[in-house]
A and B are shown apart, each in its own frame.
Chain A
Amino acid sequence: MDFLTRLNKILNKVLTLTGGVFLIGMILLTCANIFIRQFYIPIRGTFELMGYAGAVVTAFALGYTQFTNGHISVDILVNTYPAPVKRFVSLINHGVCSLFFFIAAWQVVKKAMILKAAGELSETLRIIYYPFTLAVAFGCFVLALAIFTDFLKVVFPQKASAK
């Protein structure tokens, strides 16, 4: 449990920082494109690079957002439950969501492998883009891991609080 929590913390910090670097890159690329096209031609492939970088920015923040309770939920009813019911509901909630995102990660990996096998290239720059698809899959996997850690914290509450 302790190992998983630490792993989540480190992974999410590194990924969010990487996402931040991509965000700054997006701002600089767009501003450079607007500036350069005024007296020359637009930077080729800005449109698709922005899409790929945007994917990394949000996918790499998936785990961090879960880790910091950033996802919106409607807890108006859940807050009124007695503790044992709340714990049961939390188990179902985390169990189902973690399974769902493991499936999502696995399916996106499959999609990336299909793109790789087909030698799929981007429309303008003609570059391979399946690594970005894999990045989204990795983001989903880290989210699933963060939710699974929350699931374990509900299963072993004493161990979590003793720590």
Chain B
Amino acid sequence: MSLTLIGIIGIVLLLAILFVFGIPVGFAMGLVGFIGFAHVISVDASFNMLATVTWDTFSKYGLTVIPLFIFMGQIAFYSGVNEKLYTAAFTWVGHIRGGIAMATVLACAAFAAICGSNAATAATMTTVALPQMTKYKYEPMLSTGAIACGSTLGVVIPPSVVLIIIGLSTEQSIAELFYGGLGAGILLASLLTLTVYVLCSIYPSWGPTGEKTSLKAKILSLAGAVEMLILFMVVMLGLYFGLFTPTEAGAVGSFFAVVIALAQKKLSWNDFYNSIFDTLKISCMVIVIITGAMIFGRFLAITRIPFDIADWVVTLPFSKVTIMGIIFMIYIIGGAVMDALALLLITIPIFFPVAMELGYDPIWFGVTITIVTTLGAVTPPVGATTYVVGGMAKDVPLEKVFKGVAYFLPAYIICILIMMLFPKVVLFLPGLLK
């Protein structure tokens, strides 16, 4: 049996045990990689590889950035920064038609700058923004759609765990990916806000105007929200000027997030305790998937299948844009049935060499597939973020939430098209780092 065939069987086996047996993604990748390695080399070599990869991954300095940024986000979450950000955005734009839905998207974007979790953003924004939109008689499809889609900005706008993992698995600069994600995230947030505006222009009853506020009230509303945004600036500028590494940026961000939350008297002992437990749980989940992907990657590497696929794809009689379009379709379908992080870790070893062979910029590819995969967080059948919003918005049927999300999907498509036509949107800010 040829190595390529063994590699293909390994990929099919992985998908089979993922879907048929529901084995957790990290475990499944580790298991298939371990068995495949034992089959190709030897059982003893596979035992050795299992121990080495497990120890090396768990103790890797580069991966310590993950718990640190997650902790920063958890502290922001438990200290109620979402609420402050939403109030500020509401005070500034709530008086225009559809303004509260726009404020929700903007607050999601601002919170994404501190916390990288879609689900956490969706949960709090549903609690904070939905009652306001219901009070002003907003169309439920618009309000829930805006919350679900706005929450997806969490993985695009830095610091994002997904971008960190893409950086580590493709050996690209995390700082460059962060700055690429910032450009793309601002573009997506603008398009989502524009969608609210267009929808409210077509259906004025969907987003009635809120109360007008004075300039003084607008400025006062920034108190409490602006501190965390300054923290974001410190982290990003520190990376930009090379003052600290991504891991150090995570530690500084975490430290000052705690200091700010304590100074604002917004962090109880219980909140701190919960932040720690949640941080460890999420970090562990991420590291287990990475470890599994590393083991699976070792197996794929000895079969040479990623390189064979890359060589084969470039010989296809299609333009590179068509091939990239096909890859994006695979990510959209994959993102609809499984978690973005897991999907990226399984597919990056296969598609990253293809993108490089086709001559695409690695930073552009990393940021663009993040946006493409994040679509899966709001589309059925998985659409985890939509389920969070649907589950919490008791008076809105789930179909309506999904319908609401559908109105925002063109924004993602336009965003991806703009990124394909004008790669500078993504690459301009990272270019300044070089």
A residues at B contact (CB < 8 Å): 16-17, 19-20, 23-24, 26-28, 30-31, 33-34, 47-48, 50-55, 57-62, 64-65, 68, 70-78, 89, 92-93, 96-97, 100-101, 103-104, 107-108, 110-111, 132-133, 136, 139-140
CB distance from A154 to the nearest CB of B (A): 13
- Could you tell me if A50 and B64 are in contact, using CB atoms closer than 8 angstroms? yes
The docked-state distance in angstroms from the alpha carbon of A17 to that of B75 is 17
- Could you tell me if B55 and A108 are in contact, using CB atoms closer than 8 angstroms? yes
Which residue among A27, A59, A68, A104 has the maximum number of chain B CB atoms within 10 Å of its CB?
A27
- Could you write out 30 A-B pairs with CB less than 8 Å apart? A20-B280, A26-B68, A27-B68, A27-B251, A30-B251, A34-B248, A48-B61, A50-B247, A53-B64, A54-B61, A54-B64, A55-B55, A55-B58, A61-B283, A64-B280, A71-B285, A71-B288, A72-B289, A72-B339, A73-B18, A73-B22, A74-B342, A76-B382, A77-B20, A78-B20, A97-B23, A100-B27, A104-B54, A133-B55, A133-B59
- Could you tell me if A89 and B22 are in contact, using CB atoms closer than 8 angstroms? yes
- Could you tell me if B23 and A93 are in contact, using CB atoms closer than 8 angstroms? yes
- Could you tell me if B288 and A57 are in contact, using CB atoms closer than 8 angstroms? no
B52 interface residue per 8 A CB criterion: yes
The docked-state distance in angstroms from the alpha carbon of A38 to that of B338 is 45
- Could you tell me if B285 and A54 are in contact, using CB atoms closer than 8 angstroms? no
CB distance from A45 to the nearest CB of B (A): 11
- Could you tell me if A74 and B25 are in contact, using CB atoms closer than 8 angstroms? yes
The interface size of chain B toward A, counting residues with CB under 8 Å, comes to 56
The 9 closest A-B pairs by CB, nearest first: A30-B251, A78-B22, A54-B64, A71-B24, A61-B280, A61-B284, A107-B51, A20-B276, A55-B59
Nearest residue (CB) in B for A38 is B243
- Could you tell me if A54 and B59 are in contact, using CB atoms closer than 8 angstroms? yes
Partner of A20, one of B31, B277, B288: B277
The docked-state distance in angstroms from the alpha carbon of A31 to that of B403 is 47
CB distance from A94 to the nearest CB of B (A): 9
CB distance from A33 to the nearest CB of B (A): 8
CB distance from A97 to the nearest CB of B (A): 5
The docked-state distance in angstroms from the alpha carbon of A46 to that of B280 is 21
Which residue among B50, B55, B59, B339 has the maximum number of chain A CB atoms within 10 Å of its CB?
B59
Write out the residue numbers on chain A whose beta carbons fall within 8 Å of the beta carbon of B281. 61, 64-65, 68, 70
Partner of B50, one of A17, A72, A103: A103
Interface of A is mostly: helix
B residues at A contact (CB < 8 Å): 18-27, 30-31, 34, 47-48, 50-52, 54-55, 58-61, 63-64, 67-68, 71, 243-244, 247-248, 251-252, 254-255, 276-277, 279-285, 287-289, 337-339, 341-342, 381-382
- Could you tell me if A26 and B22 are in contact, using CB atoms closer than 8 angstroms? no
CB distance from A56 to the nearest CB of B (A): 9
- Could you tell me if B284 and A97 are in contact, using CB atoms closer than 8 angstroms? no
- Could you tell me if A70 and B252 are in contact, using CB atoms closer than 8 angstroms? no
Nearest residue (CB) in B for A133 is B55
Write out the residue numbers on chain A whose beta carbons fall within 8 Å of the beta carbon of B30. 100, 104
Write out the residue numbers on chain A whose beta carbons fall within 8 Å of the beta carbon of B21. 78, 89, 92-93
Write out the residue numbers on chain A whose beta carbons fall within 8 Å of the beta carbon of B61. 47-48, 50-51, 54
Partner of A26, one of B27, B64, B276: B64
